[in-house]
């Protein structure tokens, strides 16, 4: 019978085992005081309060997440690898907490974080962008954002999965797939997790870490955040350093948090912004960093008086015939108005122009080749030193790297040769489109635009503008979100708006794992 394959154990032992499994599944752990504390869905502040009350240690927290990763990751594949030093880092955080007054430590102190596997860490973890071509490569230093996170006292729990090479190898590979980890899955639907920061979205949603970090070139934070019912902040380009991040475009790349709540995302953003000498864009963008940080904009009344623009012609373009999402969006607009926002509707933005032209692909192709070659040459040890080497690696390892998915984006980028007339024209066109968006924002004195989908991320991407997505509902195809976008440096306004909306609706619910 089926039971014969199980180890021979007593009924009592088996009962204890079932209780243990049920406890893990519920997210409750036995605290240092002997009572139960729910870890699942716990916020950064919840955990810090538990630390302060001696109800929880960082070691217990890391142990919980490691068990959850062991339990769930074989199915949803949100994590590529865990940090063998995570428990040692947790122990160090616990010791530091005993030695210092709690108010002297950052809000992220002792908090486990998963980093997208294109963000370099100078430790025992690999940084591979999901490809075997970079497995075993040695980075020269921590990425700029990692250096700031370590200073804040976080525990680097491991590397999150992603769409391989941040979805810049081929359009034919499924979103969330990479050679090293396989196919990442949305924990709500076991379907499309969206890319390319798919593993960060999966892991945040499934409670495999307290917070996660992703990167975006065009939709790669906002899309997986929406699809996995979590909060994503795509910052103004240059607000966070891209040094040490496997790049696509220095004109569009941005590093930002993917978390379960707006407050947690704000704390992570606060920790990673700032000037980095290795990323010149951070110098100019530093003017946008508010004094006192971002947490002070977690204002429950943050919608009051905010002017929110609605591009009516964009909504059918994005939603098509999805009446449920449209009806939900209309309901949310009523909530925004009830909370004191001023809705400026009937605005027109020809979004077809932003999506129909080849300009972004032309620009990204030459930018990718130049940026990636520079990154690979800077590695201390690597099997590949150029985009051409990566292409050759895939050809030599067609089964390992699933070359049947193709590498047409790689090949297109390799054909480029710097900035010619075609590239200049493409960049000029992207700038013209961005100027059109800015004119509307300034003419109507908007604090943000509000859209019923992450897809407006394309408009934000080409101009280097910030966006925040918040859970908005659950449809037949899974979770969906609401997007708030603004001009460069509008993060404080966007956080106020997103937090106030989140607190007024409280839509997010954990996946049915």
- As annotated, the active-site residues are 116, 196, 220
Tokens 């243990």, located at residue: 20
Among residues 85, 208, 96, which one has the least CA distance to residue 156? 85
Residue 275 buriedness (CB in 10 A; 0-12 / 13-18 / 19+): middle
Among residues 477, 469, 451, 476, which one has the least CA distance to residue 507? 469
H or E element in which residue 155 lies: strand 155-160
Is the CB of residue 44 less than 8 Å from the CB of residue 263? yes
Q: CA dihedral defined by 353, 355, 359, 365, rounded to 10 degrees? A: 170
H or E element in which residue 191 lies: none
Residue 74 buriedness (CB in 10 A; 0-12 / 13-18 / 19+): exposed
Bridge partners, residue 480, by sequence: 473
Half-sphere CA count of 459, side-chain side, radius 13 A: 28
- Which stretches does DSSP call E strand in 384-508? 448-451, 467-475, 478-485
| Per-residue exposure over 389-419, b if at least 16 CB sit within 10 Å of its own CB, e if not | ebbebbeeeeeebbbebebebbebbbebeee
Q: Name the token pair of 75.
A: 């199915």
Cβ within 8 Å of residue 233, ≥6 positions away = 221, 256, 257, 265, 266, 269, 466, 467, 468, 491, 494, 495
**For 108, phi and psi rounded to 5 degrees?**
-95, 5
Is the CB of residue 366 less than 8 Å from the CB of residue 372? no
């Amino acid at each position: 019978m089926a039971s014969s394959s199980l180890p021979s154990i007593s009924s009592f032992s088996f009962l204890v085992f079932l209780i243990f499994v049920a406890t893990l599944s519920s997210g409750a752990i036995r605290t240092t005081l002997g009572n139960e504390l729910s870890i699942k869905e716990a916020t950064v502040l919840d955990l810090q309060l538990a630390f302060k009350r001696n109800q929880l240690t960082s070691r217990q927290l890391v142990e919980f997440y490691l068990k959850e990763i062991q339990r769930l990751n074989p199915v949803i594949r949100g994590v590529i690898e865990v940090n063998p030093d995570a428990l040692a880092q947790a122990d160090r955080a616990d010791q530091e907490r005993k030695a210092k007054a709690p108010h002297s430590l950052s809000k992220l102190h002792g908090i486990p974080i998963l980093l997208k596997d294109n963000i370099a860490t100078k430790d025992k973890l690999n940084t591979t962008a999901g490809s075997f071509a970079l497995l075993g490569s040695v980075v020269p230093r921590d990425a700029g954002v990692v250096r700031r996170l370590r200073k804040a006292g976080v525990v680097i729990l491991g590397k999150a999965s992603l769409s391989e090479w941040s979805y810049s190898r081929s359009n034919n590979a499924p979103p969330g797939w990479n050679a090293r980890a396989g196919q990442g899955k949305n924990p709500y639907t076991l379907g499309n997790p969206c890319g390319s920061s798919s593993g960060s979205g999966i892991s945040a949603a499934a409670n495999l870490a307290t917070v996660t970090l992703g990167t975006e070139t065009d939709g790669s934070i906002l899309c997986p955040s929406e699809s996995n019912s979590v909060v994503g902040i795509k910052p103004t380009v240059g607000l966070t350093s891209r040094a040490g991040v496997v790049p696509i475009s220095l004109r569009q790349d941005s590093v930002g948090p993917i978390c379960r709540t707006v407050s947690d995302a704000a704390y992570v953003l606060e920790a990673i912004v700032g000037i980095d000498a290795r990323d010149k864009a951070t110098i100019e963008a530093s003017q946008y960093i508010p004094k006192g940080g971002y947490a002070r904009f977690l204002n429950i009344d943050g919608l009051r008086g905010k002017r929110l623009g609605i591009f009516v012609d964009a909504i059918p373009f994005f939603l098509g015939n999805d009446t449920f999402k449209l009806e939900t969006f209309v309901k949310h607009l009523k909530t925004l108005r009830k909370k004191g926002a001023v809705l400026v509707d009937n605005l027109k933005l020809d979004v077809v122009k932003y999506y129909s032209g080849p300009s972004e692909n032309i620009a990204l192709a030459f930018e990718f080749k130049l940026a990636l070659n520079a990154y690979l040459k800077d590695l201390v040890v690597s099997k590949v030193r150029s985009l051409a080497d990566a292409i050759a690696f895939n050809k030599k390892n067609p089964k390992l790297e699933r070359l049947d998915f193709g590498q047409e984006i790689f090949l297109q980028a390799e054909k480029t040769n710097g900035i010619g007339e075609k590239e200049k024209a493409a960049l000029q066109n992207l700038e013209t489109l961005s100027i059109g968006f800015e004119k509307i924002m300034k003419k109507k004195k908007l604090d943000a635009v509000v859209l019923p989908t992450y897809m407006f991320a394309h408009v934000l991407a080409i101009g280097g503008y910030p966006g925040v997505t918040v859970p908005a509902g659950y449809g037949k195809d899974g979770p969906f979100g609401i997007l708030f976008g603004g001009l460069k440096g509008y993060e404080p306004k966007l956080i106020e708006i997103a937090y106030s909306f989140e607190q007024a609706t409280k839509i997010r619910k954990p996946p049915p794992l």
